[in-house]
């Protein structure tokens, strides 16, 4: 790519063109690691981060070009530290490769990309997602086995985060009151989404006020609040010869455990299998960690809160094809959740 490519138009480009530019940045970053003389590089995912498959012939790796401004350097180092710590327990996560100078990640830039990006390299795990939202479940029996397994693994992560002694320098964002429904939420001001009607905005405002009161009463004791994955979807659990590997800790931070449960269930709202999935998820979770009925009764609250974050995501990513496709569905789902919650 020529050096006179304009970088200030990056976010106006098609996903394909953005991918080409981020590949140039990924190639510029490769020299920070010993990954072979001239490895093949292939873009395999570009949603928030851009993930590239690196193939040196003898080994394969996943190289992540992180989205700009989402995490500070210390927050990214904290993410990788938790992944390493949890992998020493009973949950497998991809191992991060240190750079030539021993750093957890590198910073790189390239023509056509307006800012430097954090780049890290993880070991490659050969496996397939437990399931995906798009493909659904071919066999109804898969629902219970899949969600029970997710519940078990989620409970194990919560057990680990409660017992793990974090480094003093550890920093991550929080899916707390401010992070979800504060004046400047983590993913943006969901109430500014143009697809919302005035009536829907008013309803969401009333639901927010009620939710804040309920959250304050629920509290943040260690049996219900701590470090969570925050994206515990079947597609982020890979099954392979090496067992199950949990990936994509990009959204991990401090939050309520039921928020994790709600994240797993949100995109199954309205489906025939929703109740079966919910029951299996709870049963699997309880096989590894206590989950009082009081906490289960908070699921409507946390499904609503998770939905508000997705509205914020749709607003802040309105230029993307994924946001355009999902926005009408998310608006309808969250509005129904708000109606049910207020009733």
SS3 readout for 151-191: HHHHHHHHHHHHHCCCCCCCCCCEECHHHHHCCCCCCCCHH
Alpha-carbon Rg for the chain, nearest whole angstrom, is: 20
Q: Give the pLDDT score at 3.
A: 43
Q: Which pLDDT belongs to residue 320? A: 75
Looking at the chain, the domain(s) classified CATH 3.90.1200.10 span 129-342
| DSSP summary character for residue 235 | G
Residue 215: the pLDDT is 98
Q: Rounded to whole angstroms, how far apart are CA atoms 291 and 223? A: 9
How high is the pLDDT of residue 256?
Answer: 98
CATH number of 129-342: 3.90.1200.10
Separation CA 104–CA 43 (nearest Å): 22
What are the two backbone dihedrals, phi and then psi, of residue 248, each rounded to the nearest 5 degrees? 60, 75
CATH of region 10-124:
3.30.200.20
Average pLDDT for consecutive 10-residue bins of the chain (343 residues)?
60 88 96 90 92 93 96 98 91 95 96 95 94 69 92 97 97 98 95 95 97 97 98 94 93 98 96 94 98 98 98 86 86 96 95
Whole-model pTM over 0.85:
yes
Per the CB < 8 A criterion, the answer to whether 221 and 117 are in contact is no
Q: Where in the chain is the domain with CATH 3.30.200.20?
A: 10-124
- Predicted pLDDT at 81: 97
DSSP string, 59-96: -EEEEEEPPTTSS-HHHHHHHHHHHHHHHTTTSB-PPB
């Amino acid at each position: 790519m020529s050096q006179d490519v304009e970088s200030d138009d990056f976010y106006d480009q098609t996903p394909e063109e953005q991918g080409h530019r981020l590949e140039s940045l990924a190639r510029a970053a490769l020299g920070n690691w010993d990954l072979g003389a001239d490895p093949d590089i292939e873009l395999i995912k570009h949603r928030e981060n851009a993930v590239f498959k690196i193939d040196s012939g003898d080994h394969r790796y996943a190289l992540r070009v992180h989205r700009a401004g989402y995490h500070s350097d210390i927050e990214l180092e904290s993410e990788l530290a938790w992944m390493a710590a949890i992998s020493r327990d009973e949950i497998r996560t991809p191992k991060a490769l240190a750079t030539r100078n021993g750093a957890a990640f590198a910073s790189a830039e390239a023509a056509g990309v307006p800012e430097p990006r954090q780049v890290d390299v993880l070991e490659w795990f050969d496996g397939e997602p437990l399931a995906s939202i798009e493909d659904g479940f071919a066999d109804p029996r898969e629902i219970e086995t899949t969600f029970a397994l997710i519940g078990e693994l989620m409970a194990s992560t919560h057990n680990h985060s409660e017992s793990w002694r974090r480094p003093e320098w550890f920093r991550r964002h929080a899916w707390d009151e401010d992070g979800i429904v504060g004046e400047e939420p983590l993913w943006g001001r969901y109430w500014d989404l143009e697809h919302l009607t005035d009536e829907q905005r008013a309803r969401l405002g009333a639901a927010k006020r009620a939710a804040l009161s309920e959250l304050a009463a629920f509290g943040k004791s260690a049996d219900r609040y701590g470090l969570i994955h925050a994206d515990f979807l079947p597609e982020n659990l890979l099954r392979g010869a090496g067992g199950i590997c949990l990936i994509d800790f990009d959204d991990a931070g401090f939050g309520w455990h039921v928020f994790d449960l709600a994240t797993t269930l949100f995109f199954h709202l309205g489906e025939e299998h929703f109740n079966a999935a919910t029951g299996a998820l709870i049963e699997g979770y309880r096989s590894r960690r206590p989950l009082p009925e009081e906490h289960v009764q908070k699921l409507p609250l946390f499904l609503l809160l998770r939905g508000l974050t997705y509205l914020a995501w749709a607003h802040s990513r309105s230029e993307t094809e994924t946001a355009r496709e999902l926005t009408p569905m998310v608006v309808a789902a969250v509005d129904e959740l708000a109606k049910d919650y207020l009733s």
